[in-house]
Chains A and B, each alone.
With several copies, the nearest count.
Chain A
């Protein structure tokens, strides 16, 4: 399946791009992260400290164990600092 993967804030800066299409068979968010980290150093660097990251599936906050079946958009970012 093809998924849109988005990166924000310092995750975006470490990976070096705001979004990309990823062809993957990953079953969960954690699987997808493992696939990305295996690809290139900059992904491993961005995902080095998972507790410092948040993930949203189709624009809803989720956790790393969440399944990707049916998901079109995955976003990774640090804890939010709005307000």
Chain B
């Protein structure tokens, strides 16, 4: 289990390969990568604020929950904060299991909980000014299925 909260950009390919290299015998790997959308060129940057300390605690708790619910060989969460440019990776989740259904379910679960229960706040900085990204009702609703 690997959990990283960092400001620096990360290398998606290298992280994926490193995750896979560390596996022993699990045949199914699912990854999710979240990227900064440029909203048709109107976004110049995204600023991500977080709550140091609580962020790590909250993500660790979510990962423990995923480990308890599904048969996972491994899981990884990388989430950035600070100022990010268009098309940069924001975060990445990876899960590995013997059966693909476990890897898929755990990755979706981790994403749903990261969206609404890990203390990050996104601010979009664009030509038209800055705006805090509003939480979506659909993200809160997504939690009810687990």
**Chain A residues within CB distance 8 Å of chain B:** 6, 8-10, 12, 56, 59-61, 75, 77-83
A80: chain B residues within 8 A (beta carbon): 115-121, 135
When A and B form their complex, which 4 residue pairs have the shortest distance between CB atoms, in order from nearest?
Answer: A82-B120, A79-B135, A9-B121, A59-B54
Q: A56-B54, A59-B51 are in contact. Are A83 and B132 (CB under 8 A)?
A: no
B118: chain A residues within 8 A (beta carbon): 80, 82-83
**In contact, A81 and B115 (Cβ under 8 angstroms):** yes
The smallest C-beta distance from B65 to any residue of chain A, in angstroms, reads: 14
Q: How many residues of B contact A (CB 8 A)?
A: 28
Q: A82-B91, A83-B34, A83-B115 are in contact. Are A77 and B121 (CB under 8 A)?
A: yes
Nearest chain A residue, comparing its CB with the CB of B131: A10
- In the bound complex, CA of A82 to CA of B118 (Å): 6
- In the bound complex, CA of A59 to CA of B57 (Å): 8
Q: A59-B51, A83-B111 are in contact. Are A77 and B132 (CB under 8 A)?
A: no
Q: B91-142: which have CB < 8 Å to A?
A: 91, 100, 111, 114-123, 132-135, 140
Could you list 22 A-B pairs, sorted by A, with CB under 8 Å? A8-B121, A9-B49, A9-B132, A10-B132, A56-B54, A59-B51, A59-B53, A59-B57, A59-B58, A77-B119, A78-B121, A78-B132, A79-B116, A79-B135, A80-B116, A80-B119, A80-B121, A81-B115, A82-B50, A83-B34, A83-B111, A83-B114
The smallest C-beta distance from A54 to any residue of chain B, in angstroms, reads: 9
Q: Which of the residues A6, A9, A77, A82 comes within 8 Å of B123, measured between beta carbons? A: A9
**In contact, A56 and B135 (Cβ under 8 angstroms):** no
- In the bound complex, CA of A57 to CA of B49 (Å): 19
